[in-house]
Amino acid sequence: MNGKALVQYLQERGWVVDRIHGSHFIMVKDGHRPIPVPVHGSRDLPLGLVRGIMREAKEE
């Protein structure tokens, strides 16, 4: 999964792009810590990073 697809996945679940800092999209949602998502074109992100971001974004 690349960064653009992960940003879209999070947006479908209510996350919003707060700002872009370099190549990282900072995603925010009420009640959660901001999550930086690296977007490097169409390059796939490491699987562990994707799992970690999804774990952070999981709704409790």
Task: Give the domain ranges of the chain.
Answer: 1-33
Q: Where are the alpha helices (DSSP H) in the chain?
A: 3-12, 47-57
Q: What is the pLDDT of residue 59?
A: 65
Q: What is the pLDDT of residue 29?
A: 95
Q: What is the pLDDT of residue 7?
A: 97
Q: Residue-wise pLDDT tens for the chain (60 aa)?
A: 999 999 999 999 999 999 999 999 999 999 899 999 999 999 999 999 999 999 999 864
**How far apart are the C-alpha atoms of 39 and 9, rounded to whole Å?**
13
Q: 40 forms bridges with which residues in the sheet?
A: none
**How far apart are the C-alpha atoms of 13 and 21, rounded to whole Å?**
22
Task: Answer whether 16's CB lies under 8 Å from 27's CB.
Answer: yes
